[in-house]
Structure 1
Amino acid sequence: MDFMSACLRLLRSGACPVATIAGCLGATFWLRSRMTDQSIDELWGRAQVLMSAGETTAARGVLEALLLRQQGHAAAHMTLSHIAWSDGRVRDAARHALDAARGLPTEPMSIIAVAMALLRTGETVAARTCLEQPALAGADAGPTVMYHAGLRRELGEEAEALRLLDRAHELGVDGPEFRFARGMEHLICGYPQQAQGDFEASLQMDPTACAATFELARLRKQTPERNHLDDFNRRRLLVAHGSQDHAALEFACYKELEDIGRYNEAWGALTKANAIMRALHPWVPEHMRYQVDRLVEICTSAPPTPEPDVHEGPQPIFVFGLPRSGTTLLDRLLGSHSGVVSVGELEDFARQLCWASDQRGLLDARMLERLPELDYRQIGHRYLAQTQWRAHGARFFIDKQPWNWMVAGLIQRALPHARLLHLVRDPMDVCFSNFRAMLGARYAYSFDLQTLAGHFHQYTRLMAHWHEAMPGRILDVSYCDLVGDTEAMMRKVVKFCGLDWEPACLDPSRNTRPIGTLSAMQARAAIHGGTFGAWRRYERQLAAMAKSIRSCPPSRAGS
């Protein structure tokens, strides 16, 4: 697979391209740098040799000696940023990336690599500043424009990402993975017909590249007269068995078989799809239990802190819960308020936790041990500094990262003025919705029914702890009530956020922001309860999971 295809695969999987691509580029893309001092040339050449040999510790010493002679040597800073990131020293990685940005070159791919290094270390504003450089705007190489599009996607600037993908296509970039990536961006931006065209083109270009099958199946409800099942069955003979493409194809078959009422066959395809994903992305339940145990132990109650700073700029509203719990619907409704803007599923708080604890592993054992000693006021300041630009003048912006339920107590410490909204959905509805969604490696618990039930237990346990540790700080929002009595629920939400009531909060179609989630099509439609009780078609097969879930404490907001 060439470098371009690797980038597209990362985009397709939903993984951030920053960590892989910047690492590849970090030690090599500066080879064109022009240096005049012979001793600096010699040191730089020696560092490159050491880097090529994998002697990063020795290379680090040489590069630091080089910087004593030429403090602004951007190539050395960028390479040191890469070394620091590989070693898990996030703060040093950020510092060197910022120093590299101060001497930013004019070569477009070098700008891209610096922006990637900045973004992964939590320096979002500096990364975005890099992307505004005129040299990058005038880039005429298709792969460079693709990387630029990937970074805009990572920043949540979906319209600009789509524009850049179109520009890359004009410059000759094409292929099944490109068409899939652009189809996804069309879908996010609200252009389903264009998305369908790209997905169909992707499948025509390579019968074995089946990522687009599931997205194509989800674009509409299939019928016995109009579906893709014959085509999908032919592709089953061609796809690499046990691959991510194979899993997507089986999820697609499940979706279409269920649409036309062939439930036994649908269940067979669904269990096969999840078995493939489970083999590709193993999940260790003990790690999740350990995380929750430590969070409960460490964050028993909010420690005494000085009076929180008064922040005059836009304030965050955090919307979180399990995936498929209704977070997107609440985001669309609340984001229709004139004082609120939807900004997507941000990674900024997680990145600031990593920066503060100076390590890459989010909520691993080392970070958990460091949590009590972190400067939460500083974390809050950094989070706000990196996110203010997203509000575009609104009083509030919605950070709709579902995973933030894990760190709700830490958010409250860092941002005591933030509003915290927790979506609660019927346990069987939300768990089954996870099982059938192909959520990806980050949510690998969803590929096994008993593991899924165990994860749900840990989730309810931690949320109960957050409520106990900081009473009144989190508003539970029942998905059932949000759909069944939208106005009553939204009035409660709006009041909790300190806003005046606006009827626009009853109409998600007023919110025209892109939707970067699996709910992109559903969230643009009228509010309905069509997904309630979908699991009952498979009640017999889900009996063991249902029994495990019934042993969990009830959700506060009910079902």
Structure 2
Amino acid sequence: MSESRPTLSERRADALALHREGDLLRAEQAYRAILETWPADGETWHYLGVLCGQLERHRHALECCVRAVGHGYVTAAVKSNMGQALLALGETGQAITALRESLALEPDNADLSLQLADLLAGDGQEAGAIAVLSEAAERFANDDRVQASLGELAARVLRPDLAEPAFRRACEGGGAVPENWLNLGSFLLMKGEREGAREAYRRALILDGSLDQAYWYLSQVMDERDEALAGRILDRADSPESRDSAALHFAAAHLLHRRAEHGPAFEHLRRGNRIRHAELGNRAAADVDAVLRLSGASAGHAAASAVAAPLAEEPVPLFIVGLPRTGSTLIEQMLARHPAIDAGGENVWLQRHLRNLLRERRLGFPEDQARLSAADLTTLRERYLDSLRIRQRGGRFVTDKLPANFLCLPTIHCLFPDAVVIHARRDLLEACWSCYRHLFTGGQAFTCDLEQLGRYALAVDSFMQSAARRRPDRIVTVEYDGLIADPRAVLVPVFDRLGLEWDEACRSPEAAAGMIQTASALQVREGLDATPRRSAEAYLRFLEPLVQQLDRPDA
């Protein structure tokens, strides 16, 4: 009597076992053998597609998923895997469609909601991502991952009404997750709630005493009640635990600076920046090189006449650019006290969309932006305006205070011929010293080395001064010291360019409602009288590499 042949289910189970064991070569052979006998088995086509994706053969993975669907195997998992393959192939729009179809098939899958929202947000479709996460937050009220994601995105687009309840629900639903308390603390800091932020950071540290980022944030909001905690931070910063922790060294430096212990403070800054420099690699030199390449590139767009048109009903961007730590947050919050101006924060989307377009066209950023076509620029303009609309609260003008947007200046003039650009400028030594003292969580490699920092500062300042001479009708320089001494005198030229009257409320940035996204939030909320002016002088003996680069008379 002959043995019975294995059924399709049995052979598929054997192939799956190989797959789960990690024997991908034999699993692939098994899947393909099954398909020779049962070529219309959509389930096996899907498993083969998953395997191809694991091997980063994304084109094959997509083809397998398409075949699975074509043979009637239509599941949320297939659509999700199609989306991942499309994303890997650079087809973001189609990937989003596939993930939407996946979520429609399985609406109770929180992971799919998170994947779709992440993909939308990563593509600049923040309004769509907010919609997906808001619906998911209602459906999965106790899922701290969903709530935390909604909170982070809502905070990014300056929607505290959505962000705060989401962050608090994340802490309630995932109370043992220290990062949730860290996120809540940072949000409360942006709102100016120092005490609430302090308590949230302490809760994070109770859950995880090694969460060094919390020590850095706490150092900004600590007071005399925290003497024991200050000692703990300083002890950790001097221990072997600090070997790879820039955050610990920056926290210690901040505390020692407040005590006027300048030598020890600078030593911790030096160590913290050295760690950051190692983490970021040679990007500091690349940052300087990008500014120099832009300085030598064409100043205008050949496609300008086909794109440029004044904005009528749309939100009008008001760009604030220059070096970091030059008062851009202060300028933004003072301007936003005017009813016609909304604070939009650091909006990454102009530069991100521009970089992506140039990469797709195999062009270099920032030097080749003048080579983009009129069609490319029209698309860029619309996508960027979408990012402004979600940040608009009723004013006609919306600020964009991403300092590095000076790299996009040729495109800004082309896309928005009526937009005013503010060059936030400060004494270069003070600006550089403030950069060196600050832990930039998002990078800023040029700030980690004093010599490179000086070179970058000079390159940016030279470029912006030259740009202002070429376009005095559109670029207004706002000097930090003058702004603090006489806000009206310094800001009236900005209002004149915008066609607006001066508003006395602009003298009181500390009264600004809502969120202030950047690290300067606490300083701004303390008012102009508490705004720091000069602190580099006490550290001059440590700053020789920077001073030499800046070529100051007292070097």
Aligned pair in 2 of structure 1 residues 122, 142: CA closer, same or farther (>3 Å)?
closer
How far residue 239 of structure 1 moved from its aligned partner, in angstroms, is 6.2
SS at match of 1:324: coil
Q: Does 1:188 align with 2:187?
A: no
How far apart are 1:334 and its partner, in Å? 0.4
Check whether the contact 2:80–2:102 (CA below 8 A) recurs between aligned residues.
Answer: no
Q: Secondary structure at the match of 1:275?
A: helix
**Which residues of 2 match residues 3-22 of structure 1 at below 5 A?**
none
Q: Secondary structure at the match of 2:201?
A: helix
1:420 matched to which residue of 2?
421
Instruction: After TM superposition, list the pairs within 5 Å mapping 1:499-514 onto structure 2.
Output: 499-514=500-515
Are 1:445 and 1:452, in contact at CA under 8 Å, matched by a contact in 2?
yes
Give the drift of 1:131.
Answer: 2.5
SS in structure 2 opposite 1:271? helix
Contact 1:188 1:515 in 2 (8 A): yes
Q: Quote how far apart the aligned CAs of 1:508 are.
A: 0.7
Distance 1:418 1:68 in 2: 51
2:50 counterpart residue number: 48
Give the direction of change, closer, same or farther, for the CA distance of 1:432–1:272 in structure 2 (3 Å limit).
same
**For residue 142 of structure 1, what is the aligned residue in structure 2?**
144
In structure 2, the residue matched to 1:213 is 215
1:420, distance to aligned residue in structure 2 (A): 1.3
- Aligned 8 A contact 2:53 2:85 in 1: no
Q: 1:459 to 1:209 in 2, by over 3 A?
A: same
- What's the offset of the Cα at 1:328? 0.6
Q: Which amino acid aligns with 2:468?
A: H
Per the alignment, do residues 175 and 292 of structure 1 end up closer, same or farther by CA in structure 2, a change over 3 Å counting?
same
State the Cα distance separating 1:227 from its structure 2 match: 7.1
Instruction: Quickly say closer, same or farther: Cα 1:170–1:227, change in 2 above 3 A.
Output: closer
- Note the C-alpha offset of 1:368: 4.9
Deviations 1:456-508 (A, max 9, x none): 12212332443355442211111111101111112222222222222111111
Task: Report the CA distance shift for 1:132/1:262 in structure 2 as closer, same or farther (over 3 A).
Answer: closer
Q: Which residue of the partner structure matches residue 515 of structure 1?
A: 516
The match for 2:169 is 167
Q: Distance in 1 between matches of 2:536 and 2:66?
A: 59
Match of 2:385 in 1: 384
Q: 1:498 to 1:100 in 2, by over 3 A?
A: farther
Measure how far apart 1:82 and its partner are.
Answer: 3.5
Q: How does 1:542-553 map to 2 (within 5 A)?
A: 542-550=543-551
Q: Deviations over 1:67-111 (max 9, x none)?
A: 777899876565455445445x3xx21343145336643233211
Q: What amino acid does structure 2 have at the position aligned with 1:379?
A: L
Cα gap change, 1:367 to 1:421, in 2 (>3 Å): closer
Amino acid at match of 2:114: I
The one-letter amino acid of 1:323's match is P
Q: Which residue of the partner structure matches residue 326 of structure 2?
A: 325
State the one-letter code of the partner of 2:201: F
Q: Which 10-residue stretch deviates more, 171-180 or 345-354?
A: 171-180
Identity level (%): 22
Question: CA offset at residue 408 of structure 1?
Answer: 1.9
Write the mapping of 1:38-437 to structure 2, written as runs, cut at 5 A.
Answer: 40-64=42-66, 78-87=80-89, 89=90, 92-98=91-97, 100-101=99-100, 104-105=103-104, 106=107, 107-133=109-135, 136-219=138-221, 226=227, 228-236=229-237, 240-243=241-244, 246-303=245-302, 304-306=304-306, 308=309, 310-357=311-358, 359=360, 365=364, 368-369=367-368, 371-374=370-373, 375-437=376-438
Quick one: distance in 1 between partners of 2:97 and 2:67? 19
Q: Paired residue for 2:35?
A: none
Structure 1: any 5+ residue segments left out of the alignment? 1-36, 553-559
1:520 deviates by 1.3
Distance 1:120 1:524, change over 3 A: same
Contact 2:83 2:98 in 1 (8 A): no
Partner residue in 2 for 1:3: none
The verdict on how the C-alpha distance between 1:230 and 1:125 changes in structure 2, with shifts beyond 3 A counting, is closer
Q: CA deviation at 1:54?
A: 2.8
Residue pair 1:341, 1:394 contacting (<8 A) in 2 also: yes
Please report the TM-score for the alignment, with normalisation by the length of structure 1: 0.82
CA 239–83 in structure 1, closer or farther in 2 if over 3 Å, else same: farther
Q: Secondary structure at the match of 2:529?
A: coil
Report the TM-score, using the length of structure 2 for normalisation: 0.83
Read off the aligned partner of 2:524 and give its amino acid letter.
A
Would the alpha carbon gap of residues 536 and 347 (structure 1) be closer, same or farther in structure 2, given more than 3 Å must change? Answer: same
Q: Distance in 2 between matches of 1:360 and 1:280?
A: 30
Aligned length: 508
What SS class does the counterpart of residue 491 from structure 1 fall into?
helix
8 Å CA contact 2:133, 2:146 repeated in 1:
no
Distance in structure 2 (CA, Å) of the matches to 1:72 and 1:301: 50
**Secondary structure of residue in 2 paired with 1:163:** helix
Q: Distance in 1 between matches of 2:149 and 2:486?
A: 44
Other-structure match for 1:446: 447
Q: Distance in 2 between matches of 1:498 and 1:70?
A: 62
Please give the per-residue CA displacement for 1:1-54, whole angstroms capped at 9, x wherever unaligned.
Answer: xxxxxxxxxxxxxxxxxxxxxxxxxxxxxxxxxxxx975444333211211233
How many Å separate the matches in 1 of 2:392 and 2:63? 42
Specify the code of the residue in structure 2 equivalent to 1:458.
A
Residue of structure 2 in register with 1:6 after alignment: none
8 Å contact kept, 1:112–1:148: no
In structure 2, what residue type is equivalent to 1:180?
A: L
Moved more, 541-550 or 75-84: 75-84
Q: Which residue of 2 aligns with 1:497?
A: 498
Distance in 2 (alpha carbons) for counterparts of 1:458 and 1:489: 24
Are the structure 2 counterparts of residues 114 and 412 from structure 1 closer, same or farther at C-alpha, using a change threshold of 3 Å? same
Amino acid paired to 2:383: R
> Is there any run of 5+ residues in structure 2 with no aligned partner, and where?
1-38
